[in-house]
Structure 1
Amino acid sequence: MSIKIENLTHVYMKNTPFEKKALDDISIEINDGEFVALIGHTGSGKSTLIQHLNGLLKPTSGKIIIDGQDILKRGVKLSDVRKKVGLVFQYPEYQLFEETIEKDIAFGPKNLGLKDEEILKRVKRAMEMVGIDYEEYKDKSPFDLSGGQKRRVAIAGVVAMEPKILILDEPTAGLDPKGRDDILSQIKTLHKDYNMTIILVSHSMEDVAKVSDRIIVMNKATCILDGKPKEIFQNIDQLEQVGLAAPQITYLVRELRARGFEIEKDIFTVEQAKRAILKYLDNTKKASL
C-alpha cells in the first residue's frame, strides 16, 4: 500500500507563545512494499510525522494520501484508515494488559467485530509472524516474558489487525544486543514474507543499515536526505553536522581505504565488510604467489 505526503506542515500550539513548527512543508512518496527507515535526532520531527499517517495528528496544512485516498477529506473514517496503517509506539510492551498472551493479541481483532474463528486465525498467524509459538505461549502471562519477547507480543497485537502498512517507532529501544537482533530479524521477515510496507523509526544507524531499502533523514522539521543506504552513508559529513553518524563499520572501512586497503567504499554492515576484507586478503595472497 502506497503513501503520498504533500506539503505537510504541523505547528504545535499555534498562535501561542509556545508555538513550534514540528514539520515544515514535507513531501514524500513511499511505494507499496518498501522498507523505509526514518532517522533523525530527537526533536527532528520523526514521531510527529508518523502520527499523521493514521490520523492521530491532524496537520496544520498539506495532504496525506494512503492507497490513493486523502485521509483528511470530509467523510473519511479514521477507524478504517487505522485498520490499514498499524502503528507500534516506542516501548509498546508497556501497553500490554491482558492476563494471557493470546488474549492480549486478540484484543485488536475483537474490536474489529470479527468472529471468534477469524480472531483465533489472526492470533495464530500474528504469533507465527513474530516468531512466537502459539501452543507454547498462548496461556502464559505477557508479564513473565523477557523484554524482547514482550516487544514481539506487542508487535503481534498490531500485526493481528492485518494492516497493509506497519510503522514502528524505535522498536529496539532499550533491548540488549540479542533482543535487538531478534526484533530486527522478525521485522525483516514480516517485510519479506508478507510484502508489508514498513516504516522503521530509529536512532541506530546499525539497525537501519541491516534492514532498510531506503533511508529518509530528518532535521529541524524537514527531510534533508532520501536515498538507498549506500547513498546516505556516503554523506558522513552532512550526517555529523545534524548530530547523526554513519554505522561504525563505515568509519572502519574509510580508515582501511586511507591505509591502502583496496576495498569497496560503500560498505555499511559487518557482513559486507567481512566479505570485502576476505576478498582483499585472498586477492593479495594470490598476487604474492
Structure 2
Amino acid sequence: MSIKIENLTHIYMPGSPFEKIALDEVNLTIEDGEFAALIGHTGSGKSTLIQHINGLLKPTRGKIIVDGIDITAEKIKLSDVRKKVGLVFQYPEYQLFEETIEKDISFGPKNLGLKNEEVVSRVKKAMNMVGLDYDIYKDKSPFDLSGGQKRRVAIAGVVAMEPKILILDEPTAGLDPRGRDEILDRVKQLREEYNMTIILVSHSMEDVAKFATRILVMDKGKCILNDVPSNVFKEIETLEKVGLAVPQVTYLIQKLKNNNFNISEDIFTVDKAKQEILKVLRGAKND
C-alpha cells in the first residue's frame, strides 16, 4: 500500500506566541512494500509526520493519500484508515493493560468485529511472527516479561490487526543490542510475511543501514533527503550539518579509501565491510 504526501504543513498553536511550524511543505512518496526509515533529530518533525499518516493529526494544509484515498478529506472515516495503518508508539509496552498476553493481543481484532476463530488465528500468527510461542505465553501476564518481550507483545497487538502499513516509532529504544536485533529481525520478517509497507522511525544509523530500502531525512519540518541508503550515506556533509552521521563503518571505509585501498564506497553495514575488506586483503596477498 503506497503513501503519497503533498505539500503537507502542520502548525502547532497557530496565531499564538507559541506558534511552531512542525511540518513545512513536505512532499514525498513511499511505495507499496518499501521498508522506509525516517530519521532526524528531536524536533525535526518525525513524530508529527507519522501521526498524520495514521490520521491522529489533521494537517494545517496539504494532503495525505493512502492507497489512492485522500485521508484528509472531510467524509473519511478515520477508524477505517487506522485498520490499514498500524502505529506502534515509542515504549509501547506502557500501553499493555490486559491480564494475559492473549487477551492483550486479541483486543484489536475483537474490536474489528471478527469471529472468535479468526481472532485466535490472528493472535497465534502474530505471536509466532514476533517470536513468542502461543502455548507457552498466551496465559502469562505481559507484566511478568522482560522489556524486549513486552515490546514484542505490543507489536503483536498491532500486527494482529493485519494493517497494510506498519509504522514503528523508535521500536528499539531502551533495549540492549541483542534485543534491538531481535526486534528489527522480526519487523523484517513481518514485512516479508504480510507484504507490509514499513516505516521505521530511528536514531540509529546502523539499524537504518541494515534494514531500510529507503531513507527519509527530516530537518526543521522539511524532508531534506529521500533516497536509497547508498545515496543518502554519500551525503556525509549534509547529514553532519543537521547533527546526524553515517554509520561508523562508513567512516572506516572512507579512511581506507583515503589510504589507497581499492575498496567500494557503497558499504554501510558491518557484514558488507567485513566481506569487502577480506576480499581486498586476499587480493593483496595474491599479488
Normalized against structure 1, the TM-score is what? 0.98
Give the 3-state SS of the residue equivalent to 2:156 in structure 1.
helix
Amino acid at match of 2:235: N
> How far apart are the structure 2 equivalents of 1:257 and 1:134?
50
Amino acid at match of 2:212: S
> How far apart are the structure 1 equivalents of 2:72 and 2:250?
41
Amino acid at match of 1:106: S
Amino acid at match of 2:48: T
1:132 is the counterpart of 2:132: yes
1:5 is the counterpart of 2:5: yes
Amino acid at match of 2:171: P
- List runs of 5+ in structure 2 lacking aligned partners: none
> How far apart are the structure 1 equivalents of 2:281 and 2:207?
28
Question: Residue 74 of structure 1: CA displacement?
Answer: 2.0
Q: How many matched pairs?
A: 287
Question: Residue 282 of structure 1: CA displacement?
Answer: 0.9
Amino acid at match of 2:24: D
Identity %: 72
1:145 is the counterpart of 2:139: no
Amino acid at match of 2:8: L
Question: Residue 260 of structure 1: CA displacement?
Answer: 2.1
Normalized against structure 2, the TM-score is what? 0.99
Q: Which residue of 2 aligns with 1:50?
A: 50
Give the 3-state SS of the residue equivalent to 2:199 in structure 1.
strand
Instruction: Give CA-to-partner distance per residue, 1:123-179, whole Å, 9 cap, x none.
Output: 001111111111111111111111111111100000001100000000000000000
- List runs of 5+ in structure 1 lacking aligned partners: none
> How far apart are the structure 2 equivalents of 1:3 and 1:285?
50
Q: Which residue of 1 aligns with 2:68?
A: 68
Q: Which residue of 2 aligns with 1:19?
A: 19
Amino acid at match of 2:130: V
Question: Residue 191 of structure 1: CA displacement?
Answer: 1.1
> How far apart are the structure 2 equivalents of 1:242 and 1:74?
36
Runs of at least 4 residues of structure 1 off by over 6 A? Answer: none
Instruction: Give CA-to-partner distance per residue, 1:187-211, whole Å, 9 cap, x none.
Output: 1111122210000001110110010
Amino acid at match of 1:223: C
> How far apart are the structure 1 equivalents of 2:175 and 2:118?
33
Amino acid at match of 2:29: E
Question: Residue 266 of structure 1: CA displacement?
Answer: 1.4
1:235 is the counterpart of 2:240: no
1:186 is the counterpart of 2:186: yes
1:249 is the counterpart of 2:249: yes
Question: Residue 19 of structure 1: CA displacement?
Answer: 0.2
Q: Which residue of 2 aligns with 1:176?
A: 176
Q: Which residue of 1 aligns with 2:278?
A: 278
Amino acid at match of 2:243: G
Amino acid at match of 2:75: G
RMSD: 0.7
1:37 is the counterpart of 2:71: no
> How far apart are the structure 2 equivalents of 1:74 and 1:252?
52
Give the 3-state SS of the residue equivalent to 1:265 in structure 2.
coil
Amino acid at match of 1:24: D
Q: Which residue of 2 aligns with 1:220?
A: 220
Matches within 5 A, 1:77-116: 77-116=77-116
